Structure formats: C-alpha cells, structure tokens
Amino acid sequence: MDRNGIRSTAKKIIYVGLMAAVLEVSKTALAWLMNIELVTFWILIFALVFGRLILFALPVFIAIEAALYPMGTWFFMYLYIWPLIAIVGLILRKKESRLSYTIASGLFGFGFGALGTFVNIPLMGVPASISWWIAGIPTDITHGISNIVFMFVLFNPIRKILKRNI
C-alpha cells in the first residue's frame, strides 16, 4: 500500500471512531429523555455523508453500549435496527432530500417498538410481545415526533458543515 493508500485508510479509521464516539455521546446525553434520541439522526446523516463507512461504526457503537449497560433484549434489537436505519440512509443518499430523510427518521421512531417486538417473540410469545408493543406506543409517538423535528431542523446545517469539512 502506498503512502496515499495508508493515509486514506487511516482517515477512514478515524472517521469510524469519530462516528462511534458521536453516536455514543449523543445517546448518553439524551438518555434521561426516554426514546428521545439523536442516534437515528446521526446514523442517517453519517450514511449520507460518509456512505458505507457508517456500517463499520455501528458495531463499535453497539459494543460500547453492551459494555456500559446490562445485557437485555435491547442488545439484539440494536443489532438489526441501527443497521437497518443505516441501509435506508444509504438508499436515500442519491436524492439528498431533507424531506425523505425526515420521513425515514420519523418512521423509525414511530416503528421502533414494532421493530423491537421481533426480538421479544421467542422469549415472551406473540400475545405478550404485542402487549409490550402497545404499552410502548406513547413513547413511540414521542420518539417519532422528536425524530422528525431533529431531522427537519438539523439536516441542512449539519450536512453542510460535514460536507465542507470532510
């Protein structure tokens, strides 16, 4: 590998570390507000700006979470929900439309509990899993609305800042 190749690889590793750090810090900063989070926003924005590199940052982020918090079903939800959000972010990348990203962000918030239900089915069975989802609907609504607000307000300024400096 020549010098440019090494530099480029080093840069990518730094980006991955920075993305994981931003995800963890923003998650922790808003942890006191249940289901109001900036992780979805950052994953979608990172997918837009850094492309597939986000898929390398997510395992780092999930590993940090697993080290910090007691193991539970949340861990298995994280294993597929965050990557799914990243993949949607990558698909929407071509258009770079604030509205598309805002809708995606909102849908993930509204559907977070429903997506998480899949993990509970083997443990709790279908009826209890559905009860679990229904009990969480008020927080899913808060989650969806806050995701919409975050993405709608922050999409343009953050995208511009990141693109200017990367």
Complex with another protein: residue 1 or 71, whichever CB lies closer: 71
Taking the complex as a whole, how short is the minimal distance between the CB of residue 60 and another protein, in angstroms? Answer: 21
Binding region for another protein (CB under 8 A): 32-34, 69-71, 99, 102-103, 106, 110, 124, 128, 131-132, 134-138, 140-141, 144-145, 148
Complex with another protein: residue 89 or 106, whichever CB lies closer: 106
> Which residues touch 15 (CB under 8 Å, ≥6 apart)?
50, 53, 57, 166
Taking the complex as a whole, how short is the minimal distance between the CB of residue 132 and another protein, in angstroms? Answer: 5
Taking the complex as a whole, how short is the minimal distance between the CB of residue 54 and another protein, in angstroms? Answer: 24
Complex with another protein: residue 23 or 117, whichever CB lies closer: 117
